[in-house]
Amino acid sequence: MTTNSVAAIILAAGKGTRMRSKRAKVLHELGGEPMIARAVRAVAALEPNPIVVVVGHQAREVEAAVKFPNARFALQEPQRGTGDGARCALEQLPANFTGDVLITYGDMPAIKSSTLRAFLDAHRKRGARLSFISIILEEPAAYGRVIRDTAGKVEKIVEFRDASPAERAFKEINTGCYIVDFELLRSALAELKPSNAQDEYYLTDIVAIARTRRETIEAWVADDPAEFAGINSREELANMEAEIRAAVNQKLMAAGVTMVDPASAYISEQAEIAPDCVIGPNVQILGACKLGEGVRIDGTAWLSNVTVGPRCHLKLGVRAEDCSIGEESEIGPFAHLRAGTELAGHNRIGNFVETKKARLGRGTKASHLSYLGDATIGDDTNIGCGVITVNYDGYDKHHTTIGDRCMVGCDTQLVAPVKVGSDVYVASGTTIIREVPDGALVMSHHPQREKPGWMATWRKRHNDSPDGSLKRNKDHQKRVAE
């Protein structure tokens, strides 16, 4: 380790009682991912080694949400304040570590990595052994106050509940983000005492300890207080979600994307949308979606991790996830593309068609009311109305293969595993249970039978006349009586 090394501690052990939830606070989602993931990603951009996440409530679930290779975890049980959490984290740092320790919070998901980098650079430039980020608020509410002496130097940080009326009048507050020399941090944490109204170990007390030791302390005043907003309630969660969504939409519109109603467009930060796309109202584009140039989404659509090729048209009510749609395809209305669907391009998936693990070749169409699951279909094949790949036998899923340039008639069932060759014509109402060779006509019709005069007998049984007038008269009398 060198003196330029930096480690990071992210405090994320609390339950968050004001969320009124069985889930740990940091597991609640923002922009389609747990807020802890956002908080860790901002820190990870500085390449600290290691990153120690302090967990407590629902520890395993929080650990699972942190998907960074050099992350370590420290269990704080019971939770007795931020200072106690930092002490737990020190146990995960290497014994020979020398350098600075950055401390942030898992419920502070709006902070930017660029801000943390500027903070770290300022700390080292000023030669401080302890620095923290402060902000100025006109209405500081219940945040901890930064108390300075007459010379303007930081004297201490006082939690609101422990502050005097004079101290509460200060407008500079502590955000809770620190950079501390490792040796100073370890020794200061050892001196902490729970001498406060909550009987907890406050991390803020290390400032007063460092002051007593005449260490160099710097309060780095950040420009944007919004970055340090914590999430403590459902209302705050919703407000930050709205801010994230508005920022994403503004960025996309500035890059050439049309939004019919930006207020109803929910688009993830990971989504990539090319210029000249048109996004209709009430559309959700989640995860790592990619939309090519000129894509049009009419509205009321839900997409998750979907790649859409250029000039595709997604009509009303389309749902698609974990799939790819080739260029110039037409989807919907009311189509459902499930995971594993691959459309090669120039495809038509019409109303009430469902696909799952289905690959459709270029130009292939399924215009309405079909289910295509566990299937590979070639180019320029037409799937008629009511066609079903019967892929499940009650225990296992089986595959269906259909070749190029086939005409599959309406109300056809393909009982998998089965293969249909190319240039095959499947007559309407056929049930296919074995392989069909190239170029064949296949059918499985039952003989048609007729019973002459049956309808007259049916009407007579119901006391109706051949022209239906008696039945209509009875219906009219019934309505009048009612």
The pTM for the full model equals 0.81
Q: Where in the chain is the domain with CATH 2.160.10.10?
A: 234-442
Q: Which of 112, 62, 53 is nearest to 88 (CA)?
A: 53
| Residue 204 banded pLDDT, cuts 50, 70, 90 | confident
Q: List the structure tokens of 223.
A: 């420009």
Q: What is the reported pLDDT for 1?
A: 34
The closest of 179, 161, 163, 164 to 219, measured between CA atoms, is 179
Q: Pinpoint the residues of the chain covered by CATH 3.90.550.10.
A: 6-228
Report the pLDDT averaged over residues 217-241: 93
What is the mean predicted confidence (pLDDT) over 380-404? 96
- Give the mean pLDDT of the chain: 92
Q: At what angle do helices 35-44 and 113-125 cross, to 10 degrees?
A: 40
Structure confidence at residue 462 (pLDDT): 81
First to last CA, the chain: 91
Nearest CA to 415 among 399, 402, 395? 399
- Beta carbons of 51 and 40 less than 8 angstroms apart: yes
Mean pLDDT of 350-377: 98
- Percent residues over pLDDT 70 in the chain: 96
Q: How many helices (H) and strands (E) does the chain have?
A: 10, 37
DSSP 8-state class, residue 278: E
CB neighbour list of residue 4: distance below 8 Å, 6 or more residues apart: 99
pLDDT exceeds cutoff 70 at 431: yes
Question: Is the pLDDT assigned to residue 55 strictly greater than 80?
Answer: yes
Task: Kindly tell me if the per-residue pLDDT of 472 is higher than 80.
Answer: no
Q: How confident is the model at residue 113 (pLDDT cuts 50, 70, 90)?
A: very high
The reported pLDDT for the residue numbered 3 is 39
Q: Which CATH architecture best describes the domain 6-228?
A: Alpha-Beta Complex (3.90)
Question: Residues 119-130: pLDDT tens digits?
Answer: 999 999 999 999
| 423 Cβ contact partners less than 8 Å away, ≥ 6 residues apart | 403, 404, 405, 406, 438, 439
pLDDT at position 4: 57
Among residues 336, 346, 368, 398, the one annotated as catalytic is 368
Which whole number is the average pLDDT over 203-216? 90
Q: How confident is the model at residue 447 (pLDDT cuts 50, 70, 90)?
A: confident
* pLDDT of 15 above 90: no
Mean of the pLDDT values across residues 255-272? Answer: 96
- CATH code 3.40.50.2000 for 234-442: no
C-alpha to C-alpha distances, 107 to 14, 27, 177, 310, 363, nearest whole angstrom: 9, 9, 12, 39, 49
pLDDT for the residue 2 = 37
Which pLDDT score, from 0 to 100, does residue 476 have?
Answer: 56
Q: Which sign, positive or negative, has the C-alpha torsion 150, 152, 156, 161?
A: positive
- For the question of residue 368 being annotated catalytic, the response is yes
Name 57's Cβ contacts closer than 8 Å, sequence gap at least 6: 13, 14, 15, 16, 24, 79
Q: What is the mean pLDDT of residues 409-426?
A: 97
Angle between helices 182-191 and 205-212 (to 10 degrees): 110
CA 23 to CA 25: how far, in whole Å?
6
The mean pLDDT value for 337-366 works out to 98
